[in-house]
Amino acid sequence: MLQPILVPLDGSPEAEQALPYAEALAEPGCQLILLEVGEDPDCEFALLDRHAGSCARLETASGDPAEQILRTARDFGVGAIVMTTHGRGALGRWAFGGVADAVTRRSPVPVMVVRPGEATTEPALRRLVVPLDGSPLAETALPVAQSLALRLGIPVRLVTAVDPVSFVPSAVAPALAFDAEVYNDTLAALRGEAEASLTRASEALREAGVGASWEILSGSPYAAITDALQPGDVVVMTSHGRSGVTRLLLGSVAEKLIREGPAPVILVPAGAVDVPVRAPAPGLAGSVWV
């Protein structure tokens, strides 16, 4: 049985810009659940009026928006949630740091987050970009990317940002700037580790029938990843987690990509996957994610 996709709405056009992306991700057939959360007792009728011709299941709820979204996702056994970062309807302040933030932090299933400004009525999903940092935690995004790539018939691009300055103690950094040999040796070591990790992950994807390529980026993770993105890209990355502890924390890079990045982001909950705890290689992108 195929799992449906949940699309939270608040009665605003901004929130409904998530719908085309949910439709693009869905398997053939009707698998969407449209959930409108609000205090207006007539929101059910408004939802019916706006989507009367849709084959999607329509649901309404009142109460805390994040709680109702998570409850509905659990009750209907959804496979993913697709939502915008904010809207202007009954939910009021749908800002990242509010409803969308709470959902991404606590959702047991992947959440695709779309900024209304980047949304389109006919999204062209051309490539999945997966940022990795050499850790098992980051690689929990790979099965989701693989499944989506096979379903949509699009390739996967694996990227790692190497930033040799990020792991150098501040007291050493000034000297490093004048020691080209130390800098080059450090950079070569980091790139070697990144190349080995990316090669292994890309080969596994190709064996599964996915077109996969990889790239080592230079500089701070957010800037490097953003510069590498192209029109039609969707970022797929682990959303949160901290060395195996139960408290989940949204990674700073993931959060910034959602706030300011040029592409939609699919956040994969690391807490739902049992992975061995191992720190990312020093200087790689993940060292500043959490």
Q: Are residues 106 and 31 in the same domain?
A: yes
What the block records as the tokens of 113 is: 């987050």
> pTM of the prediction?
0.83
**pLDDT tens for each residue of 12-37:** 888 888 999 999 998 877 789 999 88
Q: Are residues 148 and 59 in the same domain?
A: no
Q: Are residues 18 and 91 in the same domain?
A: yes
Q: Are residues 177 and 279 in the same domain?
A: yes
Q: Are residues 49 and 113 in the same domain?
A: yes
Q: Are residues 169 and 266 in the same domain?
A: yes
| pLDDT value of residue 289 | 29
> CATH number of the domain that 208 lies in?
3.40.50.12370
| pLDDT value of residue 219 | 84
High-pLDDT (> 70) share of the chain, %: 74
Q: Which of 65, 97, 118 is the last residue of a domain?
A: 118
Instruction: Domain of residue 99: give its range.
Output: 5-118
Q: Are residues 139 and 260 in the same domain?
A: yes
**pLDDT tens for each residue of 164-221:** 666 555 445 555 455 677 777 777 888 888 899 999 999 999 999 999 999 999 888 8
Could you give phi then psi for residue 186, rounded to 5 degrees?
-65, -45
Contact by Cβ (8 Å): 158, 262? no
Q: Which of 118, 153, 185 is the last residue of a domain?
A: 118
Q: Are residues 114 and 197 in the same domain?
A: no
Element (H, E) at 149: helix 142-152
**pLDDT tens for each residue of 221-267:** 899 999 999 999 999 998 754 433 333 334 678 888 888 889 999 99
Higher pLDDT, 133 or 268: 268
Q: Which of 93, 118, 143 is the last residue of a domain?
A: 118
Residue 225 Ramachandran class (φ > 0 left, ψ -120 to 50 alpha, else beta):
alpha
The total domain count for the chain is 2
| pLDDT value of residue 178 | 52
| pLDDT value of residue 179 | 65
Q: Are residues 34 and 171 in the same domain?
A: no
Higher pLDDT, 55 or 213: 213
Q: Are residues 16 and 160 in the same domain?
A: no
Q: Are residues 216 and 92 in the same domain?
A: no
Q: pLDDT grade, residue 276 (50/70/90)? A: very low
DSSP 3-state assignment of 280?
A: coil
**pLDDT tens for each residue of 62-98:** 888 899 999 999 999 999 999 998 665 544 445 545 7
Q: Are residues 151 and 188 in the same domain?
A: yes
| pLDDT value of residue 158 | 97
Going by C-alpha positions, the residue among 95, 220, 82 that lies closest to residue 164 is 220
Element (H, E) at 83: strand 80-84
> CATH number of the domain that 47 lies in?
3.40.50.620
Q: Give me the sign of the Cα torsion angle 59, 65, 67, 70.
A: positive
